Amino acid sequence: MTILFGVFLLTLLVITAIAVVRAENLFVAVMLLGIFSLLIAANFFVLNAADVALTEAAVGAGISTVLFLGALALTNERERPHRGTRWLSVAVVTSAALVLMYATFDKPAFGDPNAPVQLHVSPWYLEMTPHLIDIPNVVTAVLGSFRGYDTLGEVFVVFTAGIGVMFLLSAGPASGAGNGPGSGQGSGPGRPKLPGRKSYAGIGLRDHLIPRIVGRMLVPFILLFGLYVQFHGKYGPGGGFQAGALIAASFILYALVEGESRTLQALPQKALTGLMVGGALLYGSVGLAGIFLGSNFLDYSVLASNPVKGQQLGILLIEAGVGMTVTGVLLSIFHAFAARGTD
Amino acid sequence: MYILGLYYYWVFAVLLMIGFYAVVAKPNLIKKLVGLSLFQAAVFLLYITMGKVSGSTAPIFQEGVSGLVFSNPLPQVLILTAIVVGISTTALGLGIVIRIKEEYGSIEEDEIQEMDKT
């Protein structure tokens, strides 16, 4: 039964992916990409990766779709049709796929407990987590403590990407003075102004009764679930990354229903910047606290009198930092896109 | 079970190459970013597939239950963070596309190159 379900989900994935690439209307392609993300999240769940499935469903199907739609509103909704297939590309891609498939015959069998990937450090993580950290979710233990350096790096990548988007989109609107450095500015076909969109960005869907009522009912529950995922990450699937995405999703839904300005009143951009910076700083300072207390960077054992309690405290703090940064960055990116549309 | 395992890997190869095709063959910049997302998702699928152990459960200890076989937690950690980093980099790419659209008035690669020549 599971096999049948697996094959079914995988086949659907391939069909959706082909439809995404073939769709000439970019709006359709983006919507199909959301469906693709949801399907691949189901696949992750079948493969026992509950944490990853939660993240993919929140990020891929939720936030990614909204960001792509925001970009479409600022560019073109239709791809320019072009005739003919690019046969050279098709040939290269097909032969590469065949080579990859040929290579799969040498891979260890699916689910083999003696495959090399299962024998390296993972058994140690599974064995030592109850003794050293004593939290049920091994994924959170590895993420927060054993591989804390990696996670610190990832948080700073997310932080940098957020700063990059804000730099790109908040500075120097091309529609303002009109003396941009670009050569195509004056003569090129200008950005088509869509009259309807301006009002929507301001007031959201406040005129539409059903989306508004349903959306407003959902927002507090998504927010609550995000906080639950944040603080329950040690015991079940969850953690800062998922929680950050969920909390950002709840505010994005609020912005879509009630409009940009009210969302910025509820959570101003200054607070978002504070969250971005504060989260990264919190993570880093927990690491430094380890040094000042006489141990190594990001060693949480010394944070409390009992090493196991110290590890748990450290993971709680760095997960909070991760959640703050992810929320701040995703919402800042969303607001940067939205503000561009109302210029 | 053997065939299903191979099927997972084949789907990985096909998805990877569908994404790659969109990146190389489609002139539309947003379509390229969509293709990049597909490419990325295929890599995620490969990692998670490799971490699966047959007869196993998600790597979360349960009170009073012992002798469970767990899937490999390490690929899950790597991919969990990669998904969030992926959305941030995609957003950065979309930001660049929006600026290109404002400067050139087009998001088709060949038109932009044409404008750069003149």
Tens-digit pLDDT profile for residues A106-115: 888 888 888 8
Query: Is residue A11 a part of any domain in this protein?
Result: yes
Determine the structural domain holding residue A293 and report its residue range: 121-171+196-343
Q: What are phi and psi of B108, to 5 degrees?
A: -100, 130
Would you call A31 exposed, middle or buried from its count of C-beta atoms within 10 A (0-12, 13-18, 19+)? middle
In this prediction, residues A278-299 reach a mean pLDDT of 91
Domain count, chain A: 2
Task: Give the closest of A17, A111, A165 to B53, CB-based.
Answer: A111
Write down the pLDDT at residue A202. 58
In chain B, what residues touch A7 (CB-CB under 8 Å)? 4, 7
In this prediction, residues A197-212 reach a mean pLDDT of 68
At which of A45, A78, A111 does a domain end?
Answer: A78
Query: Is residue B42 a part of any domain in this protein?
Result: yes
Does A184 lie at the interface with B, CB-CB under 8 angstroms?
Answer: yes
Share above pLDDT 70 across residues of chain A, in percent, rounded to a whole number: 89
Determine the structural domain holding residue B98 and report its residue range: 2-53+70-117
Shared-domain flag, residues A212 and A337 = yes
Indicate yes or no: CB of B88 within 8 angstroms of CB of A182: no
Query: Is residue B59 a part of any domain in this protein?
Result: no
Task: Give the closest of A7, A63, A340 to B4, CB-based.
Answer: A7
Write down the pLDDT at residue A284. 93
Query: Is residue B87 a part of any domain in this protein?
Result: yes
Write down the pLDDT at residue B10. 93
CATH number of the domain where residue B95 is located: 1.10.287.3510
For residue A137, list its beta bridge partners: B60
Q: Which residue would you say has higher pLDDT here, A172 or A254?
A: A254
Q: What are phi and psi of A236, to 5 degrees?
A: -135, -175
Task: Give the closest of A43, A55, A162 to B80, CB-based.
Answer: A55
The secondary structure of A208-256, three-state, reads CHHHHHHHHHHHHHHHHHHHHHHHCCCCCCCCHHHHHHHHHHHHHHHHH
- A91-to-A14, A61, A66, A86, A234 alpha-carbon distances in Å: 19, 31, 34, 9, 48
Query: Is residue A101 a part of any domain in this protein?
Result: no
Return residues 262-301 of A near B (CB < 8 Å). Answer: none
Shared-domain flag, residues A156 and A31 = no
> Rounded to a whole number, what is the largest CA-CA distance in chain B?
73
Shared-domain flag, residues A150 and A280 = yes
Count of C-beta atoms within a 10 Å radius of residue A203: 14
Shared-domain flag, residues A54 and A156 = no
Give residue-wise pLDDT tens across range A145-203.
999 999 999 999 999 999 999 999 876 655 544 443 443 333 334 444 444 444 455 56
Write down the pLDDT at residue A203. 64
In this prediction, residues A219-229 reach a mean pLDDT of 94
User: 3-state class of A315 per DSSP?
Assistant: helix
In this prediction, residues A76-84 reach a mean pLDDT of 77
Indicate yes or no: CB of B104 within 8 angstroms of CB of A184: yes
Residue A338 has pLDDT above 90, yes or no: no
Domain count, chain B: 1
Give residue-wise pLDDT tens across range B46-79.
999 998 888 888 888 888 777 788 999 999 999 9
H or E element in which residue A302 lies: none
A134: CB partners within 8 A, 6+ apart:
A308, A311, A312
Share above pLDDT 90 across residues of chain A, in percent, rounded to a whole number: 51
